[in-house]
Amino acid sequence: MTALIDLHTHSRHSDGMLSPTDLVARAAGRGVGLLALTDHDTVAGHAEAQLACDAHGIRFIPGIEASCQWRGQSIHVIGLGARPSALHAFIEDIRSRRVARIQRIGERLAHRGKLPGEEIAAAVLASSDVPTRTHVARELVARGHAKDLQGAFDRWLGRDGAGHVPVEWPELQPVLETLVGACDAVVLAHPHRYKLSAGALRQLVAEFKVIGGHALEVNVAGMSMNDRDRIASLARRNALEGSAGSDFHDPATPWTSLGRMPVWPADVQPVTARLL
């Protein structure tokens, strides 16, 4: 059996539940032979993940899932084969935006939601260097304000929630330029998940290609065959390669299982050639 590939995973250094060591051990147990750690806006887990991959005979790819915005919508771009020194300024910029955003979410939860928002924000900021809305959602669940993560997003953090704060990430173009200069391969993450019309998604993909992006994530755990075919045909039409990843965060969510993804679409070149 050929080894599985997983080029999109999260550890505790962003909003994943496992340490890099435990993530790698889990991946090894599932037969993953090529693994990227792609925490949101940080490279802090790379050294530990590299050591663990060496111990398990897994080929490690240092990665990052960068936050940016395009037409006011939050977009994620994955850099693979990342050189941390070239990402330092980007990482520091996002970190300060994230801290400010969590504070604003706390204020809104307090004023509009009548929750102890400042306490919630303080707990989140104390728990992570890369505080995300996932951390806020977990805190809301832990305090009994939502029954699960999805419920916390729906009721409090999503567009209609009291704690909704619009995206404040840097624009796609400069972020993409930074990643193209700092990484071996640059991938547009989960294109099927953005709430964009078909025409807007085509324009996003065309811009991504013009600025120098290499691949679309055509193979994400939980993606329907219909979405996979739609994104694969966008890749073919734009002469972009394909990438595959689970977007694993948490062993408690069985639909994101490390290394397990739908079948690779025909006629899409794998981005892995750039990494080996």
Binding-site ranges for ligand AMP (CB under 6 A)? 15, 40, 67, 132-134, 149-150, 153, 249
- What is the number of alpha carbons within 13 Å of residue 231 lying toward its C-beta? 26
Residue 126: Cβ within 10 Å count: 8
Report the DSSP beta bridge partners of residue 78: 65, 187
Q: How far is the CB of 225 from Mn ion (least distance, A)?
A: 21
Residue 51 three-state SS: helix
Question: Out of Mn ion, ligand AMP, none, which partner does residue 149 contact, by CB within 5 to 8 A per kind?
Answer: ligand AMP
Question: Out of ligand AMP, Mn ion, none, which partner does residue 39 contact, by CB within 5 to 8 A per kind?
Answer: none
Residue 116 or 227 with smaller CB distance to Mn ion: 227
Residue 64 or 110 with smaller CB distance to Mn ion: 64
Residue 101: Cβ within 10 Å count: 21
Residue from 4, 5, 11, 15 in contact with Mn ion (CB under 5 A): 15
CA angle 89, 82, 98 (to 5 degrees): 40
Residue 51 or 122 with smaller CB distance to ligand AMP: 122
Residue 112 or 227 with smaller CB distance to Mn ion: 227
Q: Measured between alpha carbons, how far is 228 from 255 in angstroms, rounded to an integer?
A: 16
76 makes contact with Mn ion (CB under 5 A): yes
Residue 76 or 145 with smaller CB distance to Mn ion: 76
Q: How far is the CB of 165 from ligand AMP (least distance, A)?
A: 9
Give a three-class secondary structure readout of 196-255: CCHHHHHHHHHHHHHHCCCEEEEEECCCCHHHHHHHHHHHHHCCCEEEEECCECCCCCCC
13 makes contact with Mn ion (CB under 5 A): no
Candidate segments 59-67, 142-150, 220-228, 257-265, binder of Mn ion by CB under 5 A: 59-67
Pair of tokens at residue 49:
């993940």
Q: How far is the CB of 40 from ligand AMP (least distance, A)?
A: 6
Q: Measured between alpha carbons, how far is 92 from 100 in angstroms, rounded to an integer?
A: 13
Q: How far is the CB of 73 from ligand AMP (least distance, A)?
A: 11
Residue 110 or 157 with smaller CB distance to Mn ion: 157
Question: Beta 215-220 vs 73-80: how paired, if at all?
Answer: unpaired
Q: How far is the CB of 158 from ligand AMP (least distance, A)?
A: 7
Q: With the CA atoms of 179, 181, 186 and 189 taken in that order, what torsion angle do they form, in degrees rounded to the nearest 10?
A: 10
Residue 155 three-state SS: helix
Footprint of Mn ion on this chain (CB under 5 A)?
Answer: 15, 65, 76, 189, 247
